Amino acid sequence: MVMSEQKKVFTPEPFATIVERLEAGGALLPDSPENLLEVVGILKSYGEVLNAYQRNLLYIADRQFLVFFPFFKYFNGEVTLNKLLDHWAHERINYEFAEYCMKAMLWHGAPKLDAYLDSPEFSERAERAIKARLKGNPAAQLLHRCFPDFLPEWVRQQCYYSVLGQFWRVMYALFLTLWERYERGEIRAIPDVVQHILENMGAAANDLLTYSVKIRGEEYVIIPASADLRFLMDAAVPYVEAVFFRSAPFMGTVSYNAQAGQIPFEQADFQYGALYADPLPIGGAGIPPTLLMQDMKQHLPEILRHEYLGSLRGEEDMRVQICVSFQKSMFCVTTAAIQALAPYPLTTTRPEQRQANRAYLDGWMKRLATSRLAAVNPV
């Protein structure tokens, strides 16, 4: 296998060709044995990591509710000397990246979730939970009276912890099942990967997102079923928007000085997500995806690790190679999203439906024009 850094010269595939491939049942990522191995291998690793991430996010949401100094929030309730030593030595899962994704979602927002979090119902439910949590703590009660918006905003953030954890709980199982099917010979091409993702996300599309906490043995519902928040439209789509597309500029790579003008004024113009990030800085200090690449490096299937080691730089730039493979896999996930949200099946032969789909796909191509899509489509 010739890995991406060995491709010295390439010409981007015309986006019109990519649209035609989508209409023929293909994906944003071209089909090849090399791409297939990279995608299913890296998603297997990603699934292992997401399993750890989702458990910790849900633990923080459920068990660290309004804990003012959560020193041990990454320990999932199991604090031992060995775990503490491993934590200090960084021989652990980097849960900080999960929180980075949560904060990206919180900042960019999820429309229906935010509408509920801005409602009087949420305010009432949050206030009841806050009062129960602060019972017997006069100092905290005084803080709440002096700054009445502080703790409700904290509860709002806890809701995003829970929603992202519930989203990843579905996704990690989906990715691990993909690898199992690949090993059984059921996944033989990139379109098979997209179909697997599409079917499994479709099966969970209408799953309700709810959130409650137990305080002194009593349950307090923060997000009730009546809020009607669903997996696909209220978690998956906002996640893709916030993490795949927008995200946030990496500290130290651009100036946050408004006069420098290096960061777009409007959040909607942000293009710092997983589909746009330059893989080369991966491994550098202060670049959040480095944490994810390090976590995935520890869970690589042996066959994919062997391919990476056989490249030009081998171990030296494995995180960069992992990032390239990860971006390829995210274009497969994005393809599933494109197919799921299309006005008509992309393979339709009816002229009026093809015309509507073409306008829809052109919109996607414009948005992906500055992404890494051209880099993963060499000719």
d(C-alpha 53, C-alpha 247), whole Å: 18
pLDDT at 253: 83
Please give the backbone phi and psi of residue 56, each rounded to the nearest 5 degrees, phi first.
-75, -40
Task: Tell me the CB-side half-sphere exposure of residue 32, using CA atoms within 13 A.
Answer: 14
Q: Where is 219: in which H helix or E strand?
A: strand 218-223
Coil, helix or strand for 109?
coil
Each residue's pLDDT tens digit, 32-65: 999 999 999 999 999 999 999 999 999 999 999 9
Q: With a threshold of 0.85, does the pTM exceed it?
A: yes
* Ranges of the chain whose pLDDT falls below 70: 1-13, 379
pLDDT at 6: 40
Task: Tell me the CB-side half-sphere exposure of residue 334, using CA atoms within 13 A.
Answer: 27
Report long-range pairs for 263-269 (Cβ below 8 Å, ≥24 apart): 267/107, 267/108
> What is the DSSP code string of 22-46?
HHTT--SSPP-HHHHHHHHHHHHHH
* C-beta neighbour count of 142 within 10 angstroms: 11
pLDDT at 379: 63
Could you identify the residue written with the tokens 């995608």? 39
d(C-alpha 307, C-alpha 1), whole Å: 7
Does residue 74 contact residue 333 with C-beta atoms inside 8 Å? Answer: no
